[in-house]
């Protein structure tokens, strides 16, 4: 008998660890996509910021002018051109023959969220281990504010990815310097920091540089040193940043006669810092309170995570997270103009901290459970989180009845969303490991709400209803609107709409050109007493809810020749 040879395969532990890391990164990215993609095609264009962004991007493609930013015939000097470039490139690549495909404008936001999640996984895994890295990435990708921004074609999601990249690189440099004070070799990723700063500046102006500067200043105050900044090559980096940002900045200043920076600073940035702008105000503590809804479902663990950061503040990675999170958050609390997404760029630090908390081998269960003892802090945290959860559940459950629809898909989605909110409560109450169950409940909730509930609430989408009522009009018809000025209608009508005053409405009906006139009830009432409007009947009457102004609207569409005398 000849003995058969047996080959023994020795599996490389390094390869096994690498595979596990790749699988964990893929899991985090898949969870982020599952939370972000549903509804990206079915959700109508939203007012007002998204509609303004996509319309300006469309005009860039139509005119071929990628320097100036225009909304119809008016310059838009509030944000740089970076987000518009991303949207234009996405549409040209994915939907070049249909510029009305809103999903193509949203793809950069969805990709940016996935990139931010992967960068957070890399950052947290480097300092806290793979379990904490995966937990932090899942938490960021399945939080409510991130899921919302991933579906909106604006600048906030791309900015989040840029901030995450910049902070990850300087975090790496800072921790390396603390662990090896004598090192002078720059981190290999230092160009990524400066490119991220340049991209962030081109996307949303000074926001990213402000966050990075506050982080560095906080670390300088804590450590009384800044020598570690040499690891990101500040001199070469400044040249790289300048070369990336200044060509467009000089071009737009020349094209607008210097108006872009002047209007952007004095017309947008400075007013927000000095006073409440566009009725978006709030009290100090506004973001702490609204974060229970904005960072749902993970806001339940925010205060314990903050306590963990403070308790372990002597550790360099933890100190970096504190420097990232606290100074900018405190500053935003005292800025008069407030919107929930202004703190979006700070949530990765909070997600990383919660990830560390949930991955601890011996974590204090009393701090993590929904029933966290009888301390005042624990009770207040649980009550606020429950209030936010029940508010989401009540809103989802009541929405079909509030809008009076008869759509079974909306009712099914409403019931599913309600069950998901209740499931999140039960899991946080009973589960020893809340991460998988709560993540799954959140993903199903987003799918139900954004893919099925909201798109089927017809009364909520006035511009869509108006657009669907207009195709019967002759080709080349110019649409005029008085009393309804939402930018979503500009996008849906490809910019072929003019907003006029109520006083001009009657004159529009006198023209012999193919026109359509859209008026609200107030304008319709004054039109009824005019010579040209006295005998006219509307082509159609549209009823719906204008969520931008928090009011119900009844709108009528008129055209020359639709006289009551023809009855």
Q: What is the spatial distance between Cα 117 and Cα 161, in angstroms, rounded to a whole number? A: 8
DSSP state of 556: E
Model pLDDT, residue 564: 43
Model pLDDT, residue 274: 85
Q: What is the spatial distance between Cα 195 and Cα 193, in angstroms, rounded to a whole number? A: 6
Q: What is the spatial distance between Cα 346 and Cα 210, in angstroms, rounded to a whole number? A: 12
Q: What is the spatial distance between Cα 95 and Cα 65, in angstroms, rounded to a whole number? A: 19
Q: What is the spatial distance between Cα 93 and Cα 87, in angstroms, rounded to a whole number? A: 10
Residue 404 has pLDDT above 80, yes or no: no
Write down the H helix ranges in 6-78. 13-36, 49-63
Q: What is the spatial distance between Cα 200 and Cα 257, in angstroms, rounded to a whole number? A: 24
By DSSP bridging, strand 70-71 and strand 478-482 are unpaired
With a CB cutoff of 8 Å and minimum separation 6, the contacts of 143 are 294, 295, 296, 297, 298, 347, 351, 442
The pLDDT tens digits of the residues spanning 135-158 come to: 999 999 999 999 999 999 999 999
Residue range 236-247: average pLDDT? Answer: 95
Q: What is the spatial distance between Cα 502 and Cα 161, in angstroms, rounded to a whole number? A: 44
Model pLDDT, residue 457: 92
Segment holding 149, helix H or strand E: helix 144-149
Segment holding 545, helix H or strand E: strand 540-546
DSSP state of 517: E
Residue 364 has pLDDT above 50, yes or no: no
- Kindly state the percentage of the chain with pLDDT values over 90: 68
Q: Are 142 and 32 in contact (CB under 8 A)?
A: yes
Kindly report which listed range (118-127, 294-303, 490-499, 533-542) carries the lowest average pLDDT score. 533-542
Residue 366 has pLDDT above 60, yes or no: no
112 or 483: which leads in pLDDT: 112
Q: What is the spatial distance between Cα 50 and Cα 363, in angstroms, rounded to a whole number? A: 42
The pLDDT tens digits of the residues spanning 254-300 come to: 999 999 999 998 888 888 888 888 778 888 999 999 999 999 999 99
Band of pLDDT at residue 184, cut at 50, 70 and 90 = confident
Band of pLDDT at residue 8, cut at 50, 70 and 90 = very low
Residue range 420-448: average pLDDT? Answer: 92
The pLDDT tens digits of the residues spanning 303-355 come to: 999 999 999 999 999 999 999 999 999 999 999 999 999 999 999 999 999 99
Model pLDDT, residue 270: 87
Model pLDDT, residue 289: 94
Structure tokens at 358: 């949930």
Model pLDDT, residue 465: 93
Q: What is the spatial distance between Cα 442 and Cα 296, in angstroms, rounded to a whole number? A: 9
Count Cβ atoms below 10 Å from residue 491 Cβ, excluding itself. Answer: 29
Model pLDDT, residue 566: 34
Band of pLDDT at residue 33, cut at 50, 70 and 90 = very high
């Amino acid at each position: 008998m000849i003995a058969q040879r047996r080959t023994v395969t020795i599996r490389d532990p390094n390869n096994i660890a690498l595979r596990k890391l790749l699988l964990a990164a893929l899991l985090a990215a898949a969870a982020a996509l599952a939370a972000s993609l549903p509804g990206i095609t079915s959700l109508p264009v939203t007012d007002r910021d998204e509609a303004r962004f996509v319309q300006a991007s469309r005009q860039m493609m139509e005119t071929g002018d990628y320097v100036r930013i225009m909304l119809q015939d008016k310059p838009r000097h509030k944000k740089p051109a970076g987000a518009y470039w991303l949207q234009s490139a996405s549409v040209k690549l994915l939907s070049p023959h249909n510029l009305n495909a809103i999903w193509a404008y949203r793809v950069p936001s969805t990709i940016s969220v996935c990139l931010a999640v992967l960068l957070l996984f890399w950052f947290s895994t480097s300092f806290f281990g793979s379990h904490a890295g995966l937990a932090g990435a899942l938490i960021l990708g399945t939080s409510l504010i991130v899921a919302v921004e991933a579906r909106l074609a604006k600048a906030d999601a791309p900015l989040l990815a840029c901030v995450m990249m910049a902070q990850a690189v300087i975090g790496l440099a800072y921790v390396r310097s603390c662990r090896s004070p004598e090192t002078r070799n720059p981190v290999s990723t230092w160009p990524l920091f400066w490119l991220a700063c340049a991209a962030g500046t081109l996307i949303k102006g000074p926001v990213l540089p402000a966050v990075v500067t506050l982080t560095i200043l906080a670390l300088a105050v804590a450590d009384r040193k800044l020598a570690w900044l040499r690891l990101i090559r500040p001199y070469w980096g400044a040249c790289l940043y300048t070369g990336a940002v200044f060509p467009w900045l000089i071009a737009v200043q020349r094209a607008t006669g210097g108006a872009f920076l002047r209007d952007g600073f004095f017309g947008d940035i400075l007013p927000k810092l000095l006073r409440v702008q566009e009725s978006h105000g709030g009290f100090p503590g506004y973001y702490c309170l609204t974060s229970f809804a904005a960072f749902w479902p993970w806001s339940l663990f925010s205060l314990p995570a903050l306590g963990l950061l403070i308790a372990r503040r002597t550790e360099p990675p933890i100190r970096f997270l504190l420097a990232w999170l606290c100074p900018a958050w405190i500053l935003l609390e005292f800025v008069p103009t407030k919107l929930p997404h202004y703190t979006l760029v700070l949530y990765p630090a909070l997600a990383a901290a919660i990830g560390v908390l949930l991955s601890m081998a011996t974590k204090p269960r009393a701090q993590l459970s929904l029933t966290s003892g009888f301390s005042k802090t624990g009770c207040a945290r649980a009550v606020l989180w429950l209030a936010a959860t029940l508010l989401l559940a009540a809103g989802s459950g009541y929405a079909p009845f509030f809008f009076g629809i008869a759509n079974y898909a909306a009712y099914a989605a409403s019931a599913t969303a309600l069950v998901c909110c209740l499931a999140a409560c039960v899991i946080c109450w009973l589960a020893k490991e809340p991460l998988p169950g709560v993540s799954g409940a959140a993903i199903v909730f987003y799918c139900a709400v954004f893919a099925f509930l909201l798109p089927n609430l017809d009364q909520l989408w006035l511009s869509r209803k108006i657009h669907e009522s207009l195709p019967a009009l002759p080709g080349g018809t110019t649409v005029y609107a008085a009393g309804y000025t939402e930018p979503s209608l500009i996008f849906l009508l490809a910019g072929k709409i003019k907003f006029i005053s109520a006083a001009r409405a009657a004159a529009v009906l006198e023209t012999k050109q193919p026109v359509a006139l859209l008026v609200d009830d107030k304008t319709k009432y004054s039109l009824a007493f005019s010579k040209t409007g006295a005998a006219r009947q509307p082509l159609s009457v549209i009823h719906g809810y204008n969520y931008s102004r928090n009011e119900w609207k009844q709108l009528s569409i008129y055209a020359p020749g639709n006289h009551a005398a023809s009855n």
